[in-house]
A and B are shown apart, each in its own frame.
Chain A
Amino acid sequence: DQQVKQNSPSLSVQEGRISILNCDYTNSMFDYFLWYKKYPAEGPTFLISISSIKDKNEDGRFTVFLNKSAKHLSLHIVPSQPGDSAVYFCAASYQGAQKLVFGQGTRLTINP
Chain B
Amino acid sequence: DSGVTQTPKHLITATGQRVTLRCSPRSGDLSVYWYQQSLDQGLQFLIQYYNGEERAKGNILERFSAQQFPDLHSELNLSSLELGDSALYFCASSVDIAGGSTYEQYFGPGTRLTVT
Contact = CB atoms under 8 A, between A and B. Distances in A.
Contacts, number: 67
Interface residues of A toward B: which range?
Answer: 20 to 34
Interface in A93-108: 93-105
Nearest to B48: A98
Contacts of A89: 42-43
A99 B58 contact: yes
Nearest to A90: B42
A49 B104 contact: yes
Contact of A99 (B2, B45, B106, B108): B45
B101 A32 contact: yes
Contacts of A100: 33, 43, 45, 102, 105
Interface of A: 4, 32, 34, 36, 41-46, 49, 89, 93-105
